[in-house]
Amino acid sequence: MGRNRFILVLEQRFSDSFRIEPPSRYEAWDTVTAGADQSLTDVLRSGIPEDSDVLVVAQDDRLLTAPGLEVGPRRTVAVLRAGTGPLALDQLGSLLASLEKTDPDALGRTGAALAAAVGAAGGLVLEEALTESVAKMTFAAPEWSRTDTGTFRPGAVQSAPTGLLRLDLTNPGTTVTGQIAVKGWSVVRTRTPGTASSRELFEKLSGLSHYPLVLTVEDGAVTDMKATETGSATAAAALTQLFTTDPGHRAVTGVEFGINPAAPQLPFNSESNAVGTGRAAASVHLVFGSLPLNEFQIVLDCATSSLTALDGTAPLAGAGTTAAGSAPRRRMNRVTAAGCGCH
C-alpha cells in the first residue's frame, strides 16, 4: 500500500476480534465496523478518507467488492475473505501473517522470470505421473490476462494475499488437449456477490484436496472426467451438473500460476489457494468459465502435476520445482485477531 492513513474495515461479527498495533509508517489509523446490511460501497461512502489504505476483513461477499469508481483514484482497498466455523480466526491469523511476509519485489522478480520462461516455451505440457495424465497447450504468443505481482494499487478492490499470473487460453490459435489431473484446494469466483452458491460449490469440490480427478479436454473444453477415488466422486458430480446447466463452464479459459510462497492453502473459498505456491516454486491451476459470461469461474489446483515447455524437460512450475527457502521480508502494519495465536 502507500498512503499515510490506514483503515481496517471489519464485518460486524469480527468487530471484537481484532486490534491494530500502533503502526510505524502511518500518521493516522482507525477501525470501522460495517453495519449488518451495508455493502463495501456503502462503507466507502460513509466517510473513509480518499487518501487511505483500506483493509477489509469479511465473510459477506457484499463487503468484498465495489466498483472502481467508488474506490476512487487515491484510495487503495484490499479485501480479505474470512472462512466460517470455529477455526475462522486462526485462518485469518494465517492470512494476516502472509500479508506481513509478502515481498512485492520478490514476487515481481518471480513473475517476470516465469512469464519469460512461458513466453519462450512455444507451448506447455502438463503431466501427472501417478495417473499418467498428459495435456498439451499451444499458442501463437502468450497473452497474460492477469498480472498480480504483489503491489496493492489505488483505484480498484484487490483480493489479498497477492501473487498471481493468468495465462489466457481463449485466444484464436490456442489449443488445450489431453488429460489433466486436478488435485488440491479450489477457488470458486462468482458473478453474483451475496449468494451462498459459490460456497456450496466450493464445498462439493473440497474432496479434491485429497483425491484427484482426471479431466479429458478436447479443443479447450472438458468432454469427460474420471474420479480416481471415491473421495473425488462428489466433485465430479458437481462439475458434471454445472457443465450440463451451462456448457460455458466446460471451457478451459486460462492457466493461473500462484507465485506467493507466504500464502497458505486453506480449507475455505479463499484467493490464497490460488496465489500460494504450496511446496512448489510456482503452483499451477486450471481456470474454467469466464466472468461475467458464466455464473462461476472455477480454479482447480494441479498440485501433483508438473508443467514443462513443449520441447523441454525441466519443470517451469508445479511438481518438481521447489519453493524459495526463505520467507519474504517486507512487513505491513500488524493487525491481530484475538484468540488466533498470531499476537
The confidence score (pLDDT) of residue 193 equals 73
pLDDT, tens only, 135-172: 999 998 899 999 998 889 999 999 999 999 999 999 99
Q: What pTM did the predictor assign?
A: 0.90
Contact 95, 161 (CB under 8 A): yes
The confidence score (pLDDT) of residue 180 equals 98
- The residue assigned the cell 523441454 is 312
Read off the pLDDT band of 228 (50, 70, 90). confident
Read off the pLDDT band of 230 (50, 70, 90). confident
Average pLDDT over residues 117-129: 95
Each domain of the chain, given as residue ranges in start order, spans 5-102+329-337, 104-318
pLDDT, tens only, 34-46: 998 899 999 999 9
pLDDT, tens only, 63-89: 999 999 999 999 999 999 999 888 999
The confidence score (pLDDT) of residue 328 equals 39
Task: Note the helical H segments in the chain.
Answer: 40-45, 68-71, 88-101, 104-119, 197-205, 233-245, 272-275
pLDDT, tens only, 76-122: 999 999 998 889 999 999 999 999 999 999 999 999 999 999 999 98
Q: CA-to-CA distance for 195 and 61, rounded, in angstroms?
A: 8
Q: Which residue did the predictor score with more confidence, 273 or 326?
A: 273
First to last CA, the chain: 22
Distance from chain centroid for Cα 128: 22
Q: CA-to-CA distance for 158 and 315, rounded, in angstroms?
A: 30
Do the bridges between strand 144-148 and strand 133-138 make them parallel or antiparallel, or are there none, so unpaired? unpaired
Instruction: Write the DSSP string, 5-37.
Output: EEEEEE-GGGTTTEEEPPPSS-SEEEEEEPPTT
The answer for residues whose C-beta is within 8 angstroms of residue 243's C-beta and 6 or more apart is 222, 249, 250
Q: How many CB atoms lie within 10 A of CB 5?
A: 17
Do the bridges between strand 157-159 and strand 252-258 make them parallel or antiparallel, or are there none, so unpaired? unpaired
Q: CA-to-CA distance for 177 and 231, rounded, in angstroms?
A: 25
Read off the pLDDT band of 290 (50, 70, 90). very high
Q: CA-to-CA distance for 325 and 20, rounded, in angstroms?
A: 30
Phi, psi torsion values for 336, nearest 5 degrees: -120, 150
- Is residue 284 scored above 70 in pLDDT? yes
Contact 271, 285 (CB under 8 A): no
> Which amino acid, 120?
A
The strand pairing partners of 136, in sequence order, are 125, 177
The confidence score (pLDDT) of residue 326 equals 39
Q: How many CB atoms lie within 10 A of CB 67?
A: 11
The strand pairing partners of 226, in sequence order, are 214
Q: What sign for the dihedral angle of Cα 81, 87, 93, 95?
A: negative
The confidence score (pLDDT) of residue 335 equals 55
Q: What sign for the dihedral angle of Cα 26, 61, 206, 218?
A: negative
Contact 303, 183 (CB under 8 A): yes
The confidence score (pLDDT) of residue 118 equals 96
